[in-house]
Structure 1
């Protein structure tokens, strides 16, 4: 399929002005736009916490109640590694050194998913064509959820604002045991063909999938027994899935974000790319230090979508530049003050789409 094209405004465009101002900021401060000691120390803490929790669960077999707590903690560490290490690494913003970015991105392989598939789905498609139904694979949760008004309505959707939490909890399990394999064997992300995989990509795919099954399925069953493993694994993966889903959904599927429709006559989107990103993306809880630390700046989603090559540790500082430029160009900037406000908006949005012929 042919990718749609974005509008080309007369110079100087909003995007050009914004890029120049962000470039000038880093030049004037004399700092790199990639990660620094703050990010690296956080990464070490998260990896150490994950490994310590895994080792204690598998080798030292805590009591049932404590084991469940540790499985939840393992889910938090898994999510945080994804938000802070893998995400920056996959975008090339974790470090100025390519091999370090590759290593950081590879944490996703260790956790059971696949970096090659993620980069195609997330970096190439989602970041370019955010919230465009039929292209952005993040909107494809059919038939269980209806995430924009152009999607087909099923009777089950009338209750989606009540059962969404169950669907979100299944994300991680679905991701590592189904969707990666579907992309691999069909050679597509939705309807978009994958770029050709090299031999090393195939080896990495199968090698890490087998390693993950050994470390998180076979070996724990051997050490703990099937029943204890199953309970712990479900607690861990369902909690991880819910946390991952909620953070990603609050950034794009809320009441104030847009879901542009491509003009079928000329295959174009009405706005220039940067304006499109601002219309389809929302920030939340940007003054909450704990949220910022845990989510790796994904609550600064606007900054991330406009400048994915910049590490999330810089988002609070470039936030004011982007807001001021938006005000100057009379461009809306979507932001919710707290997590709960964004969450309520997301649930309200799901409820709105739970009725036929509805949408915002």
Structure 2
């Protein structure tokens, strides 16, 4: 299947880029992360190491250990949002080596930076919410996230059981999905780019290291049952938080799931308008949420300008809204996170019964 082709860009995208460029020229700020982002990254990475070492080598009491496991799961998600994500897009720092280091944290946490780059940067950002291409909306047969996907009887209840599947995301990511992509040589329907020898070595080297760090060593120091409870707690918390934040960006009411013409594979909209139609913001006035999720509540800004660090999204938010208003392009945004969560649940219910 050939990839979809977007309509030729028009004045809308050009005007967006002109005004955003003017903003950075006027302020004199780089488009990459600030010293505040470096400080946040240092805090999160230090927190990860401290929690891991204390849990594995100091054997805290059960209640404290469970609390630390929950916190560690949250820290893992926060590193993904704030450090790895910007690094993978090359927006974490002006220094290339720092971007590589930030993106590489995913390998330490159990994933694969190579697979993430293909799945997220190459496929998802280019073909957002296009069924059959965007791997992020392919949770079949367990969930139905587009009207073009086949509906099964169990989908009638997906708005009730989704939380369990979201908890399983991190486990399935590091133990199943990375390997599926590696051996199938595909991300959904998109062929995986050729892997160099170094890519293969990094993939397998860190998969073995992760088994040693997160499975073998904790079992040796703590015993099987304490490890199992702690490991499941950590991965379930991380998986649920990661899943929910990314799902609130695209699978809610009012976001679109357009499909290309079957014969020509052409899309109706240009790429920039497609991104706005398929994406939604939430809780953009909450500094706490913005800090915790690495600005991914400003998902529209991120999809339009992925190489700009999330620390600048609040500043360019109003600029993009103004351009959308002038060009009569609908802008999806939920004022609070709870309203976005409710919309996601209602969306799942609609997809399960449509």
What residue number does 2:61 align with? Answer: 63
- Superposed displacement of residue 8, structure 1: 1.5
Q: 1:219 is matched with which residue: 201, 217, 220?
A: 217
- Superposed displacement of residue 261, structure 1: 1.1
Alpha-carbon deviations, 1:209-244, whole Å to 9, x = none? 111111110000000001100010001101110000
- Unpaired runs of 5+ residues, structure 1, are none
What residue number does 1:315 align with? Answer: 313
Q: Distance in 2 between matches of 1:277 and 1:200?
A: 34
- Superposed displacement of residue 265, structure 1: 2.1
Q: Distance in 1 between matches of 2:210 and 2:21?
A: 40
Say how many residue pairs are matched: 354
What residue number does 2:164 align with? Answer: 166
The alignment's TM-score, normalised by the length of structure 1, stands at: 0.97
Q: Distance in 2 between matches of 1:128 and 1:91?
A: 13
Q: Distance in 1 between matches of 2:94 and 2:4?
A: 32
Q: Secondary structure at the match of 1:271?
A: strand
Q: 1:234 is matched with which residue: 229, 232, 235?
A: 232
Alignment of 1:270 onto 2:268: yes
Q: Secondary structure at the match of 2:315?
A: helix
The alignment's TM-score, normalised by the length of structure 2, stands at: 0.99
Where has structure 1 moved over 2 Å in runs of 4 or more? Answer: none
Q: Secondary structure at the match of 1:353?
A: helix
Q: Distance in 1 between matches of 2:166 and 2:147?
A: 20
Q: Distance in 2 between matches of 1:159 and 1:246?
A: 17
Q: Distance in 2 between matches of 1:238 and 1:29?
A: 42
Q: Distance in 2 between matches of 1:28 and 1:288?
A: 26
Alignment of 1:146 onto 2:144: yes
Alignment map for 1:65-214 (pairs within 5 Å): 65-214=63-212
- Superposed displacement of residue 162, structure 1: 0.5
- Superposed displacement of residue 9, structure 1: 4.9
Q: 2:343 is matched with which residue: 311, 326, 345?
A: 345
Alpha-carbon deviations, 1:125-167, whole Å to 9, x = none? 0000000000000001011100111101111111111100001
Q: Distance in 2 between matches of 1:193 and 1:71?
A: 37
- Superposed displacement of residue 36, structure 1: 1.1
Q: RMSD over aligned Cα, in angstroms?
A: 0.7
Alpha-carbon deviations, 1:296-330, whole Å to 9, x = none? 00000000000000000000000011000000101
